[in-house]
Amino acid sequence: MSVNESPGRRPGPDRAVQGNPPPPPATETAAEPPRDRPVSQTAAEIPAARPTTEAPDDETPTENPGAGPAADAPADQQTSAAPVDERTSWVPPDGRDVGVRVDEPSLPRRIRRPSDAIRFLLSVSVIALILLLAHVARHTTSGLASDIASGTERAPHLLLTLANLASGIGVLAVPVAFGVDRVIRRNGLRVAIGVLAAVVALGVSLTLDSWITAAGMRDLAWYLTWKRHGGWFPGPAHIDITPVIAYVTAVGLGGRTRWQLVTWAVIGLDAVASLATGGITPLAVLTTYLIGRAVGYATLYAVGSPNIRPPGDAVVAALRRVGLAPVRAARADDGPEDTRRYTATLADGRAIAVTVLDRDQQTAGLLYRLWRRVRLRGGTPPRTIRSLRRSLEQESLMAYAIAAAGASTPGLLATSEVGSEAALLAYEHVPGRLLADVPDEELTDELLTAIWAQLKLLQDRRLAHRRLAGESVLVGEAGRPYLVDLRAGETAAGDLVLRIDLAQLLTELALRVGAERAVRTAADVLGADALGAAVPLLQNVALARSTRNALHRDRKLLSRIREQIRVLRPELVTAAQPLHLDRFRLRTLVSVLAGTVGAYLLLSQLGNVNLPDLVAHADLRWFAVGALTSAVSYLAAALMLIGFVPERLPLGRTVLVQLVASFVKLVAPAAVGGIAVNTRYLQRAGVPAGQAAASVGASQLTGMVFHITMLALFGYITGSDNNSPSLPPSRIIIVSLLAAAVLAILVLSIGPLRRLVTSRMRSMFSGVLPRLLDVLQSPKKLATGMGGTILLTLAFVLCLDASIRAFGGSLSLTTVAVVFLTGNALGSAAPTPGGLGAVEGALSLGLTLAGLPAGTATSAVLLFRLHTFWLPVLPGWASLSYLQRKEAI
């Protein structure tokens, strides 16, 4: 069971957000209070719950407010959970005529706070940034450390000695004293967690120090720490301080000002003393602090933090303070995961629904909200990080604004803080079911029309709900819909946000009743023009997460919704284009990262090459041969395409199209740009879209089969040549087969990847076989296509060979062919534009393994890429402009 689970929670088949029936009346005889609740106070007498884990030093904190004697149990018993079906009920034994019964499952004693995970990730990110800074900005970091060392040399020697002595003793004595104090106050579990964090931090520090000071990382160790003790490099983590910081983070010193001041004072004094003696640099001090913090937060998230959420008794007490006097209350089994819901019966017989917002849950989903805010251009909430006060005010404002607009929503009766760790909103109780729990056969046109009427009232007043999913609409007992879950609402909303609301509700209802009924009932209320304005927002990125997940079961639903709206307003839908809501796609991010890695590897290789010297000694005759063979490759590519298209194509214009394809490689992966350009060209030439795609697929399939065949053949020939310096057939064949096997296993074992590759291959090669049969009927076409395929590979191999010879290198032609075919395959698979980085790295590595010096291999690859990738850019751009004017592409 997760530390966040509450034992005893068994939601029934029919949930009711506002509509759980009130609990049965309390009996006249007070029940025996359970062991884990105090019996000295009734709910009316309990003050607002405060975080008892931050109790003053003269109090004994408990890990769960209201947990009573259970919190004083030995450490090995404090994490025990209540029985699975136990629900705690308590009638105050004060002898009053009316008691308050709070029926709720036992709160978990420890919870995992999302804020701990976020702080851990943030600390790790900053550590990585510091290590990168120390590696890149070496002179700056070393200069800063030298300035600090020279400044501390002027300090009195006696003062530095006393600081060293005090910090050396205090950095261990203070945490031990705090631990003893906590054990005496019967809070040993907290100390045990702190000790665990300290042990983990020590291990992490030693591991990181060993890694930084290992072979190949000496330069980083030099600039991140000081060299001392005859060549010994201390690592970036101060092993004396890191465990202490992790310990302090895990035990928590919030609310204990004296302990905080003393603990951080001795830690800071120890860091200053280490800086003064030159044993550590400023960046290492910061790294030490962050490592300790990261380990402490990771430990807290792993084992859980004490639960300081106020229980139901404190919620009832807060209701009494705002003039609502419950006589009984119960925890509801529904609602979002980051809120708690209660139903209560007042003294006058009215029922109310209470939503409790816990402070520790306000960071839930923060990373997802940050990702959406960075990725999307608009339509995201104005505030990604919300405080408890902000969440309370936002939901309250939306409740009042929706009621003022005339829409149906449970009336907001009162709001209140519940101590410092929670807040509540008390609503009128509306019996009913969530829309997600209403069976499909009960979703009548009258109900759908009523839901659309609620949305129209919101849109007329510029109110956006932002969460119009099945859990945000409550269907009352009379069939009247109510809008609930107003946490993310927005007033004075812009047009984009309002249209996203419409697209969201339209998709949500279409998932339940179909596109035709959803569009028809919406048009009856909102009008066809409003639906036409929502068409550009009918895309996955604009919808809620739950709706996107549901669309996986019906991927064609959005298209059917557009078609239904097209029937109503064909002119609007035809002119509407999807809005580009995302600033970038995940594919773009992967391409940028892969390109950055490739550029880093390439620049690292260039750092070991004396380019001016190599260029000065380059043979310009071979440079000209390489340029000529590169030009021949475009003629070969044109012949290859013409051979697999039964229709007649002009040779000159087709060559220009291949130059355009080389220009497109600057912004698209190598295997994607050429296919798109050639398909577009064939369509413009009068070839139907399906046959155009089939012709390009046939040429690509033939090229792939020929590529694999030549790789195996040349690999074997190369290894069989005893005069060849390297690349035996066993290495080529075995590595290629293993790589292909691993790739195939990955594709077949990962469901989404398997479906993606299958759909892409099906769309690319559908109709290929009939197109190949058409080509086989014309020997001239077949010879042209196969001749172009062979000539294309030969031109690239000769270009690479000429580039090698231009710098004085020499390899057998078969070896060069194997290296090119391997590098070209990797470049085609890379997601970077034109295979940038992947091609250079693969070709350089292959030539080096073949026996060329590293400098010569790198220079030859750069010259090869200059001929085949960079020099054709300007002619490709000119060809694109010309063909666009001629409407040929």
Cite the DSSP H helix spans in 424-568: 445-460, 495-513, 515-526, 528-534, 545-551, 557-568
**How confident is the model at residue 80, as a pLDDT?**
33
- For 118-135, the pLDDT digits (tens) are 889 899 988 888 777 766
| Cβ atoms of residues 712 and 822 within 8 Å | no
Residue 610, phi then psi, degrees to nearest 5: -90, 85
**How confident is the model at residue 132, as a pLDDT?**
72
Residue 100, phi then psi, degrees to nearest 5: -110, 120
What's the mean pLDDT in 8-37?
A: 38
Angle at 818 between CA 775 and CA 719, to 5 degrees: 120
* HSE, side-chain direction, 13 A CA sphere, residue 306: 28
What distance in Å separates the CA atoms of residue 268 and residue 279, rounded to the nearest whole number? 15
What burial class does residue 349 get, using C-beta atoms within 10 Å of its C-beta: 0-12 exposed, 13-18 middle, 19+ buried? exposed
**How confident is the model at residue 598, as a pLDDT?**
56
- For 527-570, the pLDDT digits (tens) are 988 998 888 888 888 888 889 889 988 888 998 998 898 888 77
What burial class does residue 116 get, using C-beta atoms within 10 Å of its C-beta: 0-12 exposed, 13-18 middle, 19+ buried? buried
* HSE, side-chain direction, 13 A CA sphere, residue 654: 22
Distance set, CA 667 to CA 100, 268, 678 (Å)? 68, 51, 16
The pLDDT confidence band at residue 599, using thresholds 50, 70 and 90, is: low
Residue 63, phi then psi, degrees to nearest 5: -85, -10
| pLDDT at position 197 over 80 | yes
Most confident of 16-25, 50-59, 143-152, 720-729: 143-152
| Cβ atoms of residues 782 and 797 within 8 Å | no
Q: What is the DSSP letter of 381?
A: -
Can you tell me whether residue 15 is helix, strand or coil? coil
What distance in Å separates the CA atoms of residue 347 and residue 663, rounded to the nearest whole number? 78
| pLDDT at position 335 over 70 | no
**How confident is the model at residue 776, as a pLDDT?**
73
| pLDDT at position 297 over 60 | yes
Angle at 304 between CA 295 and CA 181, to 5 degrees: 80
What's the mean pLDDT in 101-122?
A: 83
What's the mean pLDDT in 667-671?
A: 66
What distance in Å separates the CA atoms of residue 506 and residue 496, rounded to the nearest whole number? 15
Helix (H) or strand (E) holding 433: strand 432-434
What distance in Å separates the CA atoms of residue 528 and residue 571, rounded to the nearest whole number? 11
To 10 degrees, what angle do helices 242-251 and 188-212 make? 150
Return the C-alpha torsion angle 158, 162, 165, 169, nearest 10.
Answer: 180
| Cβ atoms of residues 857 and 809 within 8 Å | yes
The rounded mean pLDDT for the chain is 75
Residue type (1 letter), 321:
R
Cite the DSSP H helix spans in 227-336: 242-251, 257-276, 282-303, 312-321
What distance in Å separates the CA atoms of residue 543 and residue 226, rounded to the nearest whole number? 54
Closest by CA position to 474, among listed 410, 524, 423: 410
What distance in Å separates the CA atoms of residue 838 and residue 547, rounded to the nearest whole number? 38
What burial class does residue 153 get, using C-beta atoms within 10 Å of its C-beta: 0-12 exposed, 13-18 middle, 19+ buried? exposed
| pLDDT at position 862 over 90 | no
Can you tell me whether residue 7 is helix, strand or coil? coil
User: Distance between terminal CA atoms of the chain?
Assistant: 61
Residue 176, Cβ neighbours under 10 Å: how many? 11
What distance in Å separates the CA atoms of residue 771 and residue 785, rounded to the nearest whole number? 13
Residue 834, by phi and psi: left (phi above 0), alpha (psi -120 to 50) or beta?
left
Residue type (1 letter), 395:
E
- For 62-81, the pLDDT digits (tens) are 334 333 333 333 333 333 33
Q: Pick the more confident residue, 614 or 725.
A: 614
Residue type (1 letter), 764:
M
The pLDDT confidence band at residue 360, using thresholds 50, 70 and 90, is: confident
The pLDDT confidence band at residue 145, using thresholds 50, 70 and 90, is: low
What's the mean pLDDT in 291-302?
A: 91
The pLDDT confidence band at residue 276, using thresholds 50, 70 and 90, is: low
Residues 567-601 as b/e (b if ≥16 CB within 10 A, e otherwise) read: ebbeebbeebeebebbeeeeeeeebeebbeebeeb
What's the mean pLDDT in 783-803?
A: 93
Residue found under tokens 């990382």: 217
Residue found under tokens 């927005």: 490
The separation between CA 704 and the C-alpha centre of its own chain, rounded to angstroms, equals: 35
**How confident is the model at residue 38, as a pLDDT?**
34
**How confident is the model at residue 429, as a pLDDT?**
93
- For 221-264, the pLDDT digits (tens) are 555 554 444 444 445 556 678 888 888 888 877 667 778 788 88
Residue 183, Cβ neighbours under 10 Å: how many? 15
Residue 527, Cβ neighbours under 10 Å: how many? 14
- 371 contact partners, CB below 8 Å, separation of at least 6: none
Residue 285, Cβ neighbours under 10 Å: how many? 20
| pLDDT at position 795 over 90 | yes
| Cβ atoms of residues 164 and 273 within 8 Å | yes
The secondary structure of 594-659 as a DSSP string is HHHHHHHHHHHHHTT--HHHHHHT--HHHHHHHHHHHHHHHHHHHHHHHHT-SS---HHHHHHHHH
The secondary structure of 43-111 as a DSSP string is TTTPPPP--GGG--TTS---SSTT-GGGGGS-GGGTTPPPPTT-EE-----S--SS--EEEEEPPPSEE
Distance set, CA 883 to CA 486, 521, 876, 888 (Å)? 54, 48, 10, 5
Q: Pick the more confident residue, 839 or 765.
A: 839
What's the mean pLDDT in 455-467?
A: 93
Closest by CA position to 87, among listed 303, 329, 314: 329
What distance in Å separates the CA atoms of residue 728 and residue 711, rounded to the nearest whole number? 13
Q: Pick the more confident residue, 49 or 672.
A: 672
| Cβ atoms of residues 562 and 538 within 8 Å | yes
Closest by CA position to 39, among listed 307, 313, 315, 419: 313
Question: What is the strand order of the sheet 432-434 is part of?
Answer: 432-434, 473-476, 481-483
Helix (H) or strand (E) holding 427: strand 422-428
The secondary structure of 642-703 as a DSSP string is HHT-SS---HHHHHHHHHHHHHHTTTSBHHHHHHHHHHHHHHHTT--HHHHHHHHHHHHHHH
Least confident of 153-162, 341-350, 865-874: 153-162
Closest by CA position to 453, among listed 434, 479, 471: 479
